[in-house]
Amino acid sequence: MRYKKIKFENGLRLVTCPMSEMRSITIGIWVGVGGRHEEDALSGVSHFLEHMLFKGTQKRTAAQISQAIEGVGGSMNAFTAEESTCFYVKVMSDHFNQAIDVLADMFHSPSFLPKDIDRERRVILEEFRMNIDQPSHYVFDLLRNVMWPRHPLGRMLIGTEKTISNIQRKNLIDFKERNYTAENIVVAIAGRMDEKKVIDLVRKKFLFLQKSGFPGYLRVKDEQKTSQGEILHKKTEQTHFCIGVRALERDHPDRFALRVLNAILGENMSSRLFQEIREKLGLSYDINSSVERFSDTGVLIVSGGVDIRHLPQAIEKTLKELEKIKKKMVPKRELEMAKEYCVGQMSLAVEKTSSQMVYIGESELSSGEILSIDEMIRRVRKVTAEDIQRVSKELFVNHRLNLAVIGPVDRKERIKNLFHLN
């Protein structure tokens, strides 16, 4: 794939990935602000603002915004993360002009009508309550609070009932003016395109953005001394648990070794955790591992849902798999299969314009470096069994170990006593 980067006069960055064989084009507007950039009193304002940009502008109602995209067979959405907010549209390439016009309009002149804010506040409060009522979802928020207490990364992205209720129109406008600035935005576009036309239109439509700096954030201080956790008693049919291991920041040199390690551990049905805990022992329908990386820290998460009677065994067996991969070198065949899985997943993902947009947009926003697919494959295939063991020994230690559990747990001490690595 051929990536091109352009920086306009006002500091706005445009990254493109022409894919002439496609019929579609995906446009993403990435803003370098998210949950960790918020003040405590305004927790959830990034997410609230994301919602409000869809609620109408000076020339379009909320219905007209969605109709302008869906009426030509396209789709649009947005998401808020810890370090970024992204708005995106996917349409047939013939409708690029209309799609970029709608996105620019949402950024340029959102109406922020008081009645719309109050209505959306009720919607977001319902979303908050829905998340709390879903233990398979809420357990991840509980884990983050265990890992990063009294830190923005430990808060729920959506905010709290109190902060959501207290966010006012002025807060939304001020937050947007401070953070939705040219230097803090990346426009990422992938698909069939006339490159000159794309460059000219993006420059024209986003010229209104003011040049400015970047939002600051509180860096993570790793002060954990031993394994730790929290168990939330709740009457549920299934008990949900997350084991979080403090891991590597986004641009760490060992990130490709961690990617392969995660594939070996629990990313798919061939993984050790799936084979041991589901296939061999039948303890869980769903058991997997994933990796989250931020600018200054990261986490490897093992998550699953089990009958309360099987919770101690599931945790114990998970920890044994961590110890095993740390103490014994990964066999050559298993390592090669895991690397080929990673290579295949990366290669398949870049066949979609939406996946390419996410990759180039997030990469440019977070690090300013967009590796080619060939370079990523080269780095994955370069990972050795020694790399896997070295990273495992660094990560799988008690002072990096965290636990969150939600379910009808009565014997909490039993769980806490077994939650450690040898």
Q: Which of 171, 205, 239 is the last residue of a domain?
A: 205
Average pLDDT, the chain: 96
Model confidence at 62, in pLDDT bands (50, 70, 90)? very high
Please report the pLDDT score of residue 1 as a whole number: 65
Surface-to-core class of residue 204, CB atoms within 10 Å of its CB (0-12 exposed, 13-18 middle, 19+ buried): exposed
Please report the pLDDT score of residue 415 as a whole number: 81
Please report the pLDDT score of residue 223 as a whole number: 86
Answer yes or no: is pLDDT of 410 > 90. no
- Summarize pLDDT for 78-102 with one digit per residue, the tens: 999 999 999 999 999 999 999 999 9
Span 209-236, average pLDDT: 90
Q: State how far the Cα of 77 lies from the Cα of 92, in Å rounded to an integer.
A: 16
> Same domain for 324 and 411?
yes
Instruction: Examine the residue annotation and report whether 50 is marked as an active-site residue of this protein.
Output: yes
Span 16-33, average pLDDT: 97
Model confidence at 215, in pLDDT bands (50, 70, 90)? confident
What CATH number is attached to the domain comprising 281?
3.30.830.10
Q: State how far the Cα of 177 lies from the Cα of 170, in Å rounded to an integer.
A: 10
Q: Domains in the chain: how many in total?
A: 2
Which is the catalytic residue, given 9, 38, 39, 50?
50
Instruction: Report which of 203, 209, 207 is spatially closest to residue 189, judged by C-alpha positions.
Output: 203
- How much of the chain exceeds pLDDT 90, in percent? 93
> Same domain for 318 and 399?
yes
Under 8 Å between Cβ of 185 and 30: yes
> Same domain for 245 and 299?
yes
Burial string for 205-233 (b: 16+ CB within 10 Å, else e) reads bbeebeebeebebeebeeebeebbbbbee
Residue 276 DSSP SS3: helix
Answer yes or no: is pLDDT of 422 > 80. no
> Same domain for 304 and 404?
yes
Residue 390 DSSP SS3: helix
Q: Does residue 214 sit within a domain?
A: no
> If you search the block for the tokens 């067996």, which residue do you land on?
317
> Same domain for 290 and 338?
yes
> Same domain for 233 and 320?
yes
Please report the pLDDT score of residue 421 as a whole number: 86
Q: Does residue 276 sit within a domain?
A: yes
- Summarize pLDDT for 381-401 with one digit per residue, the tens: 999 999 999 999 999 999 999
Span 298-309, average pLDDT: 97
What ranges make up the beta strands (E) of 200-267?
Answer: 228-233, 239-246
| Tokens describing residue 290 | 């994933």
Span 272-288, average pLDDT: 96
What ranges make up the beta strands (E) of 44-84?
Answer: 75-80
Answer yes or no: is pLDDT of 327 > 90. yes
* Domain span including residue 15: 4-205
Instruction: Report which of 95, 152, 85, 161 is spatially closest to residue 124, judged by C-alpha positions.
Output: 161
Span 57-65, average pLDDT: 97
